[in-house]
Structure 1
Amino acid sequence: MLKLLRHLVQGAALLCVLYFSAALMLGVIPVNGTFTQTRGGVPIAVCSNGVHTDFVLPVKSEVVDWSMAFPPQSFPADVARYDHVGIGWGDLAFYQSTPRWSDLDLAITLRAMTGLGPTALHVQYRPGPGSAERCAALTIGAVQYRKLAEYIGATLVPTGAPVAEGYGTSDAFFPARGRFNLFTTCNVWVGEGLKAAGMPTRLWTPFAFQVMPPLEAAAGR
């Protein structure tokens, strides 16, 4: 039994090393590195709390009206005063338990990585990107924004109603498609959305710290 346990521990350690090695290698390969901002386009942002990354988008534009997908009456607070909406994706239980790094729970994280739990879109009506969080703001063309909106819309299960309450009164969790796991994390979902919209990202982005640098570099150009 001790020999078997030792082999299991060694195997798990090897898998962790391989996973993080792959993340580090694939997480530096640029995608859409020639991106340039569109003057007069749609202003969008990606914001990170250190664990999750979210798209921060105007509630209404010529391309899409997010209040149709996420009805304001579905939120406890009067969210009509907000002109932006934050949208992220992930395992529902993991999302609910980890609003910050300090809330990270190993058991919930491991359970989420199995891909057996339901996923959700975390939607928050809010002002634009805040100064107290890490955000990269860019201006993209209407065609790019439409592709991003289509990507997000394809993830949403269009019930029009939340599946769970959020962290406060201006956010909620809406049912989503897809399975969260080691290879498809909340940050991979954001990275794939960036790819779909022709925005700068990395080949594989399982962690928040891999999503932000290409966007911040593009925002400074």
Structure 2
Amino acid sequence: MRNTFNLVAGLMLLASFFCVGCSTRWQYLPTDEELNQPLPKIYVVGHGWHTGLVVPASAIPKDLAEIHQTLPFSAFYEIGWGDKGFYQADEITSGITVRAIFWPTESVMHVVSLPKEPQTFFPQSDVVELKLSQQALDKLMVAISRSFARDSQGEILRTQKGLYGQSWFYQGEGSYYMTNTCNTWVAKMLDEAGVPFRTFMTLTSSSVIEQAKEAAANYPCAEVN
């Protein structure tokens, strides 16, 4: 088991040398009118090897209304994407790990109800706050919504209880493999929202957190509100 994780770490470290530079420019910046009021906030959360996104409950679109019904009374939701077998496993084995890395596998979405801000809910995790315009937030939620698999009626598909707190797994869209990880998904979602983020070969949690911090530090409207 230890050798397997050493192999994974080595591959991810090697991949980092082939990463292209990320864009340095924010897109979808707030309008003058938006700058006169508090901007919407999202959060990037790092849990060791895995990252997720925390969004305001009010941002959940109508086509994800099932989340509100299943996990009501939430101030925020943490949403993550990952390998179905690895993410949902009661015990992580070397076989599950190798399969998740070297073969395209099914994906799932993990949704967690947060009754309070993530800095308080996840005191041991890395949390980076990002301010977005309403346009950027809307684009982010469209991208997140597309990550959920749906039935013939367009409803998202709940599978089993989640990992912690009040949470559920849902069937995901897309395949998980070595160069398309949970952390790559977070990078892609933020790129869709116009955050300057590298999507190619962003594989590790540390890479996501570092880029999120850099993006926050270089946000043109960071000191407005």
- Return closer, same or farther for 1:114/1:199 CA change in 2, 3 Å cut-off: same
CA–CA separation in structure 2 for the residues paired with 1:124 and 1:185: 19
1:41 aligns with 2:29: no
Q: 3-state SS of the aligned residue for 2:52? A: strand
Q: 2:147 aligns with which of 149, 152, 155?
A: 155
- Return closer, same or farther for 1:169/1:205 CA change in 2, 3 Å cut-off: same
> How do residues 82-121 of structure 1 correspond to structure 2 at under 5 angstroms?
82-97=74-89, 105-121=93-109
- Return closer, same or farther for 1:82/1:18 CA change in 2, 3 Å cut-off: closer
- 2:117 equivalent in structure 1: 128
- 1:210 equivalent in structure 2: 207
- 2:133 equivalent in structure 1: 141
- 1:6 equivalent in structure 2: none
Structure 1 residues 134-188: Cα deviation after superposition (integer angstroms, max 9, x where no partner): 0110110111111111111111113344112212351111011100001111111
- 1:198 equivalent in structure 2: 194
- Whether the aligned pair in 2 keeps the contact of 1:57 and 1:85 (CA below 8 Å) is yes
Percent identical: 24
The code of the aligned residue for 1:128 comes to E
CA–CA separation in structure 2 for the residues paired with 1:59 and 1:199: 20
- 1:7 equivalent in structure 2: none
Question: Please, what is the CA RMSD of the aligned residues?
Answer: 2.8
Q: 3-state SS of the aligned residue for 1:85? A: strand
**Structure 2 spans left out of the alignment, 5+ residues:** 1-6, 219-225
- 1:8 equivalent in structure 2: none
1:167 aligns with 2:163: yes
- Whether the aligned pair in 1 keeps the contact of 2:64 and 2:145 (CA below 8 Å) is no
- Return closer, same or farther for 1:185/1:170 CA change in 2, 3 Å cut-off: same
- Return closer, same or farther for 1:139/1:17 CA change in 2, 3 Å cut-off: closer
- 2:176 equivalent in structure 1: 180
CA–CA separation in structure 2 for the residues paired with 1:171 and 1:214: 27
- Return closer, same or farther for 1:48/1:65 CA change in 2, 3 Å cut-off: farther
TM-score (normalizing by structure 1): 0.77
1:64 aligns with 2:61: yes
Number of aligned residue pairs: 196
CA–CA separation in structure 2 for the residues paired with 1:128 and 1:65: 23
* Aligned-pair CA distance for 1:133: 1.3
Q: 3-state SS of the aligned residue for 1:174? A: strand
- 1:9 equivalent in structure 2: none
Bigger Cα Rg = 1
**Structure 1 spans left out of the alignment, 5+ residues:** 1-12, 74-78
